[in-house]
Amino acid sequence: MAKTGHTYPTDNRLREGETVDELLGGRLRVIQGRRGYRFSLDALLLANFVRMKSGASLLDLGTGSAVIPMLLCRRWDCARAVGVEIQGELADMARRSLELNDLTGKITIIEGDVRDAAKLVPFRSFDAVTCNPPYRKLRSGRINPLAQKARARHELFGNLGDFLLAAAHAVRPGGRVFAIYPARRLAELIFQMRRHHLEPKRLRMVHSRRETAGEFILVEGRPGAGEELTVLTPLFIYTAEQVYTAAMEEIFSDLCVFPGSGGG
């Protein structure tokens, strides 16, 4: 992904086979494995879609490298944030990334299964919950031989319903749940949100290019809210020349505006 920038293979926080990648002009640095799971553009799309109040609390389910809570804590000055990650290796890398960015006092990484959310986080204790669930059903497509990628992409340790059940447990009344999911599975996303009493309130379709079908869907849901859905204008990632659109460049710019960085 073009915006991740440089790597620093000699950083003393690194283990063998890891890199430190700059994100968004170097404002954040993320420790990742050279192979295995690496965050992708969908994490940035979800982070940009989130709307929170300054000082709010955040829970990120399946946090991976903790990119989303790191971005949101800097952008919205969260009072506290928690990332839940089932894979021990990823949880360890995420904690070291927090150290690298001086965010250990803001963000806590819990190594655990989202299906055990009731044991991991208190009931109705977060203003916002984010999730980027595994996209593929167990019997759909080839499972990646690299364990980190397989667990991130396939529903090996929880499906969409499990993630939304965890979100419904954790979000406060009046809070918000934000998710990104494949557009082709939109019907299931809406069904599962309503099943867990998270009413869809804001939706945006993401297309690779203007002439292509929808690829991702971004949705905001609120617990126990009434029916009324705002459908935003579609987002196109690339131009016909395969460069980022002006809308995407604006997203990158918005994510760079942290408190004290000169932005509003």
Q: How far apart are CA 31 and CA 13, in angstroms?
A: 9
pLDDT in tens, 85-142: 999 999 999 999 999 999 999 999 999 999 999 999 999 999 999 999 998 665 555 5
Pick the CATH number of 2-256 from 3.40.50.150, 3.10.580.10, 3.10.20.30, 2.40.110.10: 3.40.50.150
178 and 49 Cβ atoms separated by less than 8 Å: yes
DSSP code at position 117 = H
- The span from the CA of 93 to the CA of 14, in Å, is 9
Please give the single-letter amino acid code of residue 23: L
CA distances (Å), 95 to each of 35, 121, 170, in order? 19, 18, 22
Residue of 204, 232, 259 whose CA lies nearest to 71: 259
Q: Is the dihedral of CA 38, 126, 56, 105 positive or negative?
A: negative
Mean pLDDT for the stretch of residues 11-30: 84
3-state secondary structure 186-247: HHHHHHHHHHCCEEEEEEEEEECCCCCCEEEEEEEEEECCCCCCEECCCEECECCCCCECHH
- The percentage of residues in the chain with a pLDDT greater than 70, rounded to a whole number, is 84
Q: What are phi and psi of 40, to 5 degrees?
A: -135, -175
Domain boundaries, the chain: 2-256
Q: Give the pairing of strands 18-23 and 28-33.
A: antiparallel
164-212 pLDDT, tens digit per residue, is 999 999 999 999 999 999 999 999 999 999 999 999 999 999 999 999 9
* C-alpha distance from residue 96 to each of 3, 70, 251 (Å): 21, 12, 26
Q: Does residue 257 or residue 141 have the better pLDDT?
A: 257
What is the reported pTM? 0.87
